[in-house]
């Protein structure tokens, strides 16, 4: 069961011809008696969900929430997609806080047909760059557990992605990235994409798990009850069709480390994830999901053609991605080439034909040309795309 449970109910009346009130309830766990931090998390997630459902931008969430807390106001006016934000009530039960908020949101008109579909994304095992930093607490398994958490959150809370996960073995990405072998990264991406039937591939590097340095003696390091510890992770998302990088972003946060220095932790446990440090990793993953959703929303939804027969094709997008009978797709014939220096460039020849979906399964769809023409040069591994 998710730590944050978001329940939405919608007002029946509009504030104006262009805005709509959304009333949202959020619940969050209170860690170490920190009511204010839990209050922020509950409001932030409630508002983010309201924004996503309204089709508005989620980029202003942090600004709005911080504005409420800094000004200590029950409601504020904000520029951008959130016209008004109001805290209606908050209640405390044991170690949980429940907040109810009301937001007046400017909906954002859809800019792309592909927002109707969920894109397939492969999550690979992360890489802890400096594994000696994981020794305190025994955090060596963060490279897999963070990706499990991210996958679950994307599938539960994300709007535009359907994930697969491959975390049993490390990839060669970090080694290739460090040595700037970008052409080999492209080949790795396309190979993984082809092997797992996914459109995009995500890599990540956990770059910092160190403790904050202070001027006091190292002998006094553990005399305080807690000590700040960093969590820094870099995210990379590549297009599986051509191996090109489409998102590269760094995330960095710090939180108190409240565990004994000799204690080895079970990082799958609530003890870890409900601690201050576990909470800051969890919030970092929420930030990543917002950025991933916003960047992926209007990426063209591309399916690989796996069968061609006369005027009919089968491609690897289906109900899991939101494809429905009657949807129309354009066809692209792959035309990659390598220049004199060995660099690979991707290209496509656009087919004059469109196809309409006539049947759908969970992970594939069958489509036929609208005018029953034969598909000519279209081959297996060519692309069906919805822009």
CA distance 262 to 272: 15
Same domain, 226 and 255: yes
Q: How far is CA 204 from CA 11, 122, 169, 190, 249, in A?
A: 40, 12, 14, 17, 10
Total structural domains within the chain: 3
**Residue 176 shares a structural domain with residue 325:** no
Range of the domain at 374: 301-386
Classify 156 in phi/psi space as left (phi over 0), alpha (psi -120 to 50) or beta.
Answer: alpha
Task: Verify that 172 and 280 share a domain, yes or no.
Answer: yes
Residue 11 clears pLDDT 70, i.e. is over it: no
CATH number at residue 380: 2.40.10.410
Contact 288, 296 (CB under 8 A): no
pLDDT number for residue 69: 45
- Domain containing residue 261: CATH number: 3.40.50.10610
Q: Is the pLDDT of residue 191 over 90?
A: yes
Whether 70 has a pLDDT exceeding 90, the answer reads no
Task: List the structure tokens of 278.
Answer: 């576990």
- HSE, CB side, 13 Å, CA atoms: give it for residue 240: 24
pLDDT band per the 50, 70, 90 thresholds, residue 53: low
Residues 6+ apart with CB under 8 A from 25: 6, 7, 8, 9, 46, 98, 99, 100, 101
- Residue 277: the pLDDT is 95
Domain termination site, one of 296, 326, 358: 296
Clarify whether residues 34 and 170 are in a common domain: no
pLDDT per residue over 19-34, tens digit each?
566 777 777 888 778 8
Q: Do 163 and 264 reside in the same domain of the chain?
A: yes
- With beta carbons less than 8 A apart as the criterion, state whether 284 and 253 touch: yes
Whether residue 251 sits in one domain with residue 125:
yes
Return d(Cα 251, Cα 346) in angstroms, integer: 30
329 and 305 both lie in a single domain: yes
Is the same domain home to 77 and 32? yes
Two structure tokens written together for 158: 């994300």
Residues 119 and 253 in one domain: yes
Beta-carbon-side half-sphere exposure of residue 80 (alpha carbons within 13 Å) = 15
Residue 123 and residue 50 share a domain: no
**Sign (positive/negative) of CA torsion 299, 300, 305, 306?**
positive
pLDDT digits 0-9 by tens, 233-271: 999 999 998 898 999 999 999 999 989 888 999 999 999
Same-domain pairing of 218 and 251: yes
Residue 111 pLDDT > 90, yes or no? Answer: no
Q: Which residue has the higher pLDDT, 76 or 178?
A: 178
Q: Is 368 helix (H, G, I), strand (E, B) or coil?
A: strand
Region of 197 please: left (phi>0), alpha (psi -120 to 50) or beta.
left
Least Cα distance to 100 among 75, 66, 71 occurs for: 75
CATH classification at residue 89: 3.30.1660.40
My answer on whether 310 and 187 are in the same domain is no
pLDDT > 60? residue 73: no
Name which of 184-198, 207-221, 244-258, 350-364 the model is least confident about: 207-221
Q: Which of 105, 138, 154 is the last residue of a domain?
A: 105
* Of the residues 275, 296, 317, the one at which a domain ends: 296
């Amino acid at each position: 069961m998710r730590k944050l449970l978001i329940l939405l109910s919608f007002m029946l009346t509009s504030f104006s011809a262009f805005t709509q009130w959304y009333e949202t309830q959020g619940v969050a766990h209170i860690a170490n008696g920190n009511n204010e931090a839990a209050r922020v998390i509950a409001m932030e997630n409630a508002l983010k969900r309201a924004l996503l459902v309204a089709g508005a931008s989620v980029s202003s969430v942090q600004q709005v929430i911080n504005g409420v807390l800094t000004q200590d106001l029950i409601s504020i006016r904000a520029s951008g997609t959130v016209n008004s934000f109001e805290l209606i009530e908050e209640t405390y039960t044991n170690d949980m806080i429940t907040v109810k908020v009301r937001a007046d949101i400017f909906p954002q008109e859809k800019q792309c047909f592909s927002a109707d579909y969920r894109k397939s994304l492969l999550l690979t095992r992360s890489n802890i760059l400096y594994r000696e930093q994981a020794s305190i607490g025994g955090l060596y398994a963060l490279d897999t557990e963070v990706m499990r958490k991210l996958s679950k959150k994307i599938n539960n809370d994300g709007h535009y992605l359907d994930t697969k996960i491959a975390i049993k073995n490390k990839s060669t990405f970090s080694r290739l990235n460090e040595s700037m072998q970008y052409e080999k990264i492209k080949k790795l991406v396309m190979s993984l994409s082809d092997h797992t039937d996914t459109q995009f591939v995500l890599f990540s590097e956990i770059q910092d798990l160190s403790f904050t340095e202070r001027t006091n003696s190292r002998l006094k390091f553990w005399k305080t009850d807690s000590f700040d510890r960093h969590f820094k992770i870099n995210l990379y998302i590549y297009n599986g069709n051509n191996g090109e990088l489409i998102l590269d972003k760094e995330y960095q946060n710090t939180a108190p480390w409240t565990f004994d220095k000799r204690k080895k932790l079970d990082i799958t446990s609530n003890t870890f994830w409900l601690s201050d440090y576990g909470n800051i990793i969890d919030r970092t993953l929420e930030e990543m999901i917002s950025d991933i959703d916003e960047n992926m929303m209007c990426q063209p939804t591309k399916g690989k053609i796996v069968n061609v027969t006369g005027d009919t094709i089968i491609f690897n997008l289906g109900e899991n991605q939101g494809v429905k009978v009657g949807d129309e797709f354009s066809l692209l014939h792959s035309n990659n080439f390598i220049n004199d220096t060995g660099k690979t460039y991707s290209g496509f020849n656009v087919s004059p034909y469109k196809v309409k979906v006539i049947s759908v399964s969970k992970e594939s769809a069958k489509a036929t040309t609208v005018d029953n023409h034969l598909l000519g040069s279209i081959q297996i591994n060519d692309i069906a795309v919805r822009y």
